[in-house]
């Protein structure tokens, strides 16, 4: 039994969901449009303001797809209606970030600056306040894409365990190590 897959999804008033003939779910809302191909073993039913995802068999693979597609459709609906935001913090002396349009310019302690061009669906903003670490704010309606972009940015300089220098998510708790201690 898939507890997540059996939950109905509420459809907001300003969001429209269509199922095409070749099993593609199209979700349109005020923030954009998203598409997801659905496995033929899963069916999607739209009634009034709720969406139900159902499976045809009790095979193990179909049970796992049931919950997966329900979550993907729910994320698409939330994305086109509310959107997603990810904030990252750049910790380190001399580390700087600057956004111009869709281009992110980062100085992360390497011999050269790193330029990263972001997809058009992801909006980027940088905040630099005196006495605080610079922050990168990513906004998008596509949860998968914004997560992938945030992971690529973080991979450029992962937080190290001794001082915590690097790019980390805001409110992320890092495991810190003690470092060298004098022997007795």
pLDDT in tens, 35-60: 999 999 899 999 888 999 998 888 88
Write down the domain spans for the chain. 3-81, 84-169
The pLDDT, as a whole number, for residue 123 is 95
- Nearest CA to 89 among 183, 171, 146? 171
pLDDT in tens, 151-175: 999 999 999 999 889 999 999 888 9
pLDDT-derived band at 63 (thresholds 50, 70, 90) equals confident
pLDDT-derived band at 6 (thresholds 50, 70, 90) equals confident
Residue 61 has pLDDT above 60, yes or no: yes
**CATH homologous superfamily for 84-169?**
Ribosomal protein L6 (3.90.930.12)
Average pLDDT score over residue span 61-80: 92
In angstroms, what CA-CA distances link 39 with 4, 7, 58, 62, 69? Answer: 17, 19, 15, 9, 9
The pLDDT, as a whole number, for residue 182 is 56
Mean pLDDT of the chain: 91
Q: Which fold has domain 3-81?
A: Outer Surface Protein A; domain 3 (3.90.930)
**Inter-helix orientation angle 60-81/143-156, to 10°:** 90
Q: What is the DSSP string of 90-158?
A: EESTT-EEEEETTEEEEE-SSSS-EEEEPPTT-EEEEE--TTS--EEEEEES-HHHHHHHHHHHHHHSP
Cut 0.85: pTM above it: yes
pLDDT in tens, 84-141: 999 999 999 989 999 999 999 999 999 999 999 999 999 999 999 999 999 999 999 9
pLDDT in tens, 133-152: 999 999 999 999 999 999 99
Do 3-81 and 84-169 show the same overall fold? yes
The pLDDT, as a whole number, for residue 98 is 95
The pLDDT, as a whole number, for residue 58 is 87
Task: Note whether 141 and 32 are within 8 A (CB).
Answer: yes
């Amino acid at each position: 039994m898939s507890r997540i897959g059996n939950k109905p999804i509420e459809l907001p008033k300003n969001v429209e969901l269509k199922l095409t003939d070749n099993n593609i779910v199209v979700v349109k809302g005020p923030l954009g449009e998203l598409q997801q191909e659905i496995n033929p073993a899963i069916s999607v039913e739209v009634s009034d303001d709720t969406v139900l995802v159902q499976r045809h068999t009790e095979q193990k693979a179909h049970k796992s797809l049931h919950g997966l597609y329900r979550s993907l459709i729910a994320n698409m609906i939330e994305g086109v209606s509310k959107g997603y935001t990810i904030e990252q913090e750049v910790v380190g002396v001399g580390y700087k970030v600057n956004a111009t349009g869709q281009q992110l310019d980062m100085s992360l302690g390497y011999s050269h600056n790193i330029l990263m061009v972001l997809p058009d669906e992801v909006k980027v903003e940088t905040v630099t306040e005196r006495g605080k670490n610079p922050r990168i704010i990513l906004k998008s309606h596509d949860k998968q894409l914004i997560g992938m972009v945030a992971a690529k940015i973080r991979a450029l300089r992962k937080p190290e365990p001794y001082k915590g220098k690097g790019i980390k998510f805001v409110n992320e708790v890092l495991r810190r190590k003690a470092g060298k201690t004098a022997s007795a």
